Chains A and B, each alone.
Chain A
Amino acid sequence: MPPTTDSFLDYIASPYVLRALAGVVLIAANAGVSGAFAAFRRSTFLVSGASHAALAGAALVIVLETHGLIIGVNPLVGAALAAVGLGLLAAWASNRGSDELVETAIGVGFAFSMALAALLMSMIPEAATRVWSVLLGDVLLLTNGDLWLMGGVTLAVCGIVWWFRRPLLFITFDIEGAKSFGIRAGLHNTLLFGLIALSCAVVLKSVGAIVVYAMLVAPAATALLLCASVRRAMVTATGIALVSGLVAIGLSYYVRLSVGALAALLACLTYFAALCWRATSRRRGGVA
């Protein structure tokens, strides 16, 4: 836990706060890329599903480790595998062309993950506190190992989205049209779902499964209310997530609160503010 006797600068310069700052930058990058595409595609339920699947994956690693069955595996690896598994399940449903099927597949995956996590926690009480910490998350408890993993995956997610930006945007705009342009819509759709799910796992340990949705989706949803171009929306989403995270870390010097929860709260408040702004400017007949 952060000591509160140091000066503000000493606090910021302490290793765990520096790691938290790095974590916030990585979260913001994921919000600006995967969060934005999830919002563009209207598949934000995937984010809540994948983050809870990630929780179950992390819990499984923690439990196996407690039993001495595996050693030295970062729970984030389990989280990433489980999240991608759910992403692929959702992509399969999506490629069959039915939105209801996608909802159901994600919903069932979500419930299965939570049941599994709860079961594991009840079976192995020693591991329960560690699983709880993943459920709630704490950006101040990131280790160097976590950061390397998060950084590597974030770089991969951003790089892949950049490389495939045209087909990914095309299938997001219209699948039928994309197919007629020779784009392998199913393949790219699966890729996009997988990447969004990976981002959920990246953000998991910093903010906790419960608020991953807020950190990834709220900034992008806000950006969609304010921006008229894809690039601007992605930059704005990154900015909102970054500022929310930084302000939350700054505030954590003064008040002992969960930084992740505070950041998520700020991101959501920004969304509500943007909604109000839109509503009032529309009433005034504004909105370009």
Chain B
Amino acid sequence: MTGDIVVEAVGLGYDYVSPPVCALRGVSFELRRGAFLAVMGPNGSGKSTLVRAVLGLLRPTRGSIRVAGREAWEYRREIQRIIGYVPQHDSVNQHLPMCPRDIVGLAASTRGVGRGGHGNLTARVNDALAMVGMADLAHRPFGSLSGGQQQRVLVARALVVDPHLLLMDEPFAGVDVVHRNELVELLAWLSREKHVTVMAVVHNINPLAHFVDHVLLLDNRMVAFGTPGETLTPELLAEAYGAEVPVLVCDDGVLHPITDHAADH
């Protein structure tokens, strides 16, 4: 059933050249179609680096990373066609006079959505914005939206291309509790019902703890990969974060590490 494996990392490592930084070492894991993975680790632990490697934007300095059975770097043009990517939100330009519809529409037309019987572009853009609850603000200038609203626009931009793999770098940063829970439910629905493979970098796993299938703990190397029950233990968390991380067990028996905003849950 190897055809079912969407992401496969084998001994993946990456070193930046200038300045020389060993960002990632010995990362090995597999994600099947429809799996939901949370990637966790302290600042600078290589989470964004891993995401870039999956996108084929970096050539691994060790090991390999395959997406849909192909080396991500060698086949980046092909694999990028099936990936929806939500960048870390502080990397986007606040000054470009574009509204959410323009931004999502630009992504859709770049990918050729709406051409050749793939359905109407405007309808697809509206659907994507509605999915993240941004339909009412579709015409507001992007720069005038709140951080959380901007984040949801970026999620809509990733969804408009109907991705098989959704890659998100801190998609909940700045998103309020209500909208965050809506987003989490959207992601859980995408992975369960639409069989979209979801990989999300998060600092606070608690809103997702009940939904994710796997957790990857990073600290410039792979500390652990497994189910939330296997990975969210005080020992492994201490290894990743280099400090004691208290863990609570909720009524459903799910582990909740207190890494960030514990009060949110």
Contact = CB atoms under 8 A, between A and B. Distances in A.
Contact of A174 (B55, B80, B87, B99): B87
A233 B154 CA distance: 23
Contacts of B109: 166
16 contacts: A40-B93, A40-B96, A40-B97, A170-B107, A172-B93, A172-B96, A174-B93, A176-B85, A176-B91, A180-B80, A181-B107, A229-B102, A230-B96, A230-B102, A232-B97, A233-B97
B49 to A, nearest CB: 12
Contacts of B110: 166-167, 170, 181, 183
Contact of A177 (B81, B85, B96): B85
A108 interface: no
B106 interface: yes
A67 interface: no
B57 interface: yes
Residue among A176, A224, A227 with max Cβ neighbours from chain B (10 Å): A176
Contacts of B57: 176, 179-180
B84 to A, nearest CB: 9
Contacts of A232: 97
A181 B111 contact: yes
A28 B198 CA distance: 48
B234 interface: no
Nearest to A223: B97
B194 interface: no
Given A166-B106, A176-B87, A230 B93 contact: no
A180 B55 contact: yes
Given A40-B95, A40-B96, A180-B57, A170 B81 contact: no
A174 B95 CA distance: 11
A177 B150 CA distance: 14
A8 interface: no
A72 interface: no
A40 B141 CA distance: 14
A180 B85 contact: yes
Interface of B: 55, 57, 76-77, 80-81, 83, 85, 87-88, 91-93, 95-99, 102-103, 106-107, 109-111, 141, 154, 157, 167
Contacts of A42: 93, 95
A149 B97 CA distance: 32
Contacts of B141: 228
A169 B96 contact: yes
Nearest to A165: B106
Given A228-B97, A230-B97, A230-B98, A173 B91 contact: no
Nearest to B78: A182
B96 A175 contact: no
Contacts of A182: 76-77, 80-81
A227 B87 CA distance: 26
A169 B106 contact: yes
A151 B89 CA distance: 41
B80 A170 contact: no
A90 B47 CA distance: 30
B99 A228 contact: yes
B95 A224 contact: yes
B97 A173 contact: no
Contacts, number: 77
> Binding site of A, secondary structure by majority: helix, strand, loop or mixed?
helix
A174 B91 contact: yes
Contacts of B154: 177
B92 A173 contact: yes
Contacts of A169: 96, 98, 106
B183 to A, nearest CB: 18
B92 A174 contact: yes
Nearest 6 A-B pairs (CB), nearest first? A180-B85, A174-B92, A176-B87, A228-B141, A182-B80, A233-B97
A169 B99 CA distance: 13
Contacts of B102: 229-230
Contact of B97 (A176, A183, A224): A224
B58 to A, nearest CB: 10
Residue among B88, B93, B96 with max Cβ neighbours from chain A (10 Å): B96
B199 to A, nearest CB: 13
A177 B99 CA distance: 16
Contacts of B96: 40, 169, 172-173, 230
Nearest to B54: A180
Contacts of A228: 97, 99, 141
A179 B55 contact: yes
Nearest to A182: B80
Nearest to A225: B97
Nearest to A233: B97
Given A40-B93, A173-B92, A173-B103, A180 B98 contact: no
A13 B98 CA distance: 42
Contacts of B99: 228-229
A274 to B, nearest CB: 14
A106 to B, nearest CB: 19
Contacts of A183: 110
